Amino acid sequence: MIRTMREGFIFQRDWAGRGERGFRDQMLMPAIFFGAVSPGLYISSLFTDFLPGLWASLIMNIAGYGVTHLLYLGKMERFWRGLLNIRHSWISRGILFNILFTISSSVFIILKALGAEWGGLIFLCKWVSLVSALLFLAYPGFMLSFVKAIPFWRSAVEPTLFFLQGIMGGIAVQLLMGAAFSLEQQVSRMLLRIDFLLLIAVLVIMLSALVIKSLHGDAERVSVMYLLGIHPATKDGGGAFFLVGAISGGLLIPIALLAVMVVFSELSGISKALVYPAMMLQLVGIYLAKYGFIRAGAYTPPAPKV
C-alpha cells in the first residue's frame, strides 16, 4: 500500500473549515451536520407524530443549516444564483430541495400546531415536506460523489452513509428531547431498535468502505491512511478524531449501550439512563465522521504550466 503510493497529493482544506477566511470557512461543517440532522429529525418526528420534534427540526434547518451555509458563501446576497444550474449541479439541486423543505414544512407545522383539519393544503404540505426532506437528506452524499477531482468521494458509499447518518441523528435528537417532552415508551423503544440497526449498518458500511477504497487508486489509499492516522498529514489530529471520535465513541460505544437497552426492553432504571450518553456520543460521532470523510479528500495537484 505504501510502496505503490505516489507523492504529491493535496488534502482539500476549504470544505473542512481550514481555508483562508477564518470563521466563515468553519461554517460549512455545521451546515453539513445540521443539513443532515434537521431533515432526519423531521422525518422521525413526522412518522411518530412528535410536534416538538417538528418545531426543533424547523429551527435547526433555518438556523443550523440556512444561516451557517449563507455565512460560508463568498457573497451571501447572491445565494439565489445557486438555483441557476439545477440540471447539472447537485449544489443547485440541494438549494432547491432545501427551499421546498423549508416552505412546505413551515406551513405544515404551523397548520398542525393551530389544529387545522386534514384538508387539501395540510395534506399537500405534509407529503411535499416529506419528499423534499428525503431529497434534501440525500443530496450532500450525491454532491460529494460527483466531485471528479477527489477519488475518495466518488462512490455509492457517501450517499448511503450520509443518508443513514441523517436518520440516525434525527432519532438521536428526538430521544434526547424525550427528557423534556412527553415521548411514549412504546415510541422510544421502537426508535431505539431502529437506531441500533442503523448504527450497525453504518459501522459495517464505513469499515467496508475503508477496506475497498484502500485497494483502489493511490489517492484513495492516501485518504484511508489519513483516516487511520498513519499519514503524515494526520499530525493535525484527523486520524484520532476519526478512529476515537467517529468509530469508537460514535459507533462502538453507542452500539454497546443500545444493546443493553434493546435486551432490557422496559426503559427504566439503568437502561433508561443510558439513552442520553448514547445519543450524545452518536451525534458527536456523526459530526466527526462527516468531518473525517471531507477532510480526507485527497487529489493530485494540476501539472504546472510549461
The length of the chain, given as a count of residues:
306
What dihedral angle (degrees, nearest 10) is formed by the CA atoms of 64, 92, 104, 49?
Answer: -60
In this prediction, residues 260-269 reach a mean pLDDT of 65
Cβ distance 226 to 177 under 8 Å? no
Residue 163's pLDDT is: 94
Of 14-23, 118-127, 165-174, which one has max mean pLDDT?
Answer: 165-174
53: Cβ contacts below 8 Å, ≥ 6 apart: 41, 42, 44, 45, 170, 173, 174, 177
Q: Which amino acid is at 78?
A: R
- Specify whether the CB–CB gap between 4 and 222 falls below 8 A: no
Instruction: Say what the pTM is.
Output: 0.87
Handedness of CA 231, 236, 237, 241 (dihedral sign): negative
SS3 144: helix
DSSP lists the bridge partners of residue 11 as 298
Percent of the chain topping pLDDT 70: 82
CA distance 98 to 86: 13
| Rounded Cα–Cα distance for residues 287 and 246 (Å) | 8
* pLDDT tens digit sequence for 129-165: 999 999 999 988 888 888 888 888 888 888 899 999 9
Name the architecture of domain 10-299: Up-down Bundle (1.20)
Domain ranges of the chain: 10-299
- Residue range 226-250, pLDDT digits in tens: 888 887 666 655 567 888 899 999 9
pLDDT band at 266 (very low <50, low <70, confident <90, very high): low
DSSP 49: T
pLDDT digits (tens, 9 = 90+) for 199-223: 999 999 999 999 988 888 788 888 8
Is the pLDDT reported for residue 191 higher than 70?
Answer: yes
Task: Give the type of residue at 24.
Answer: R
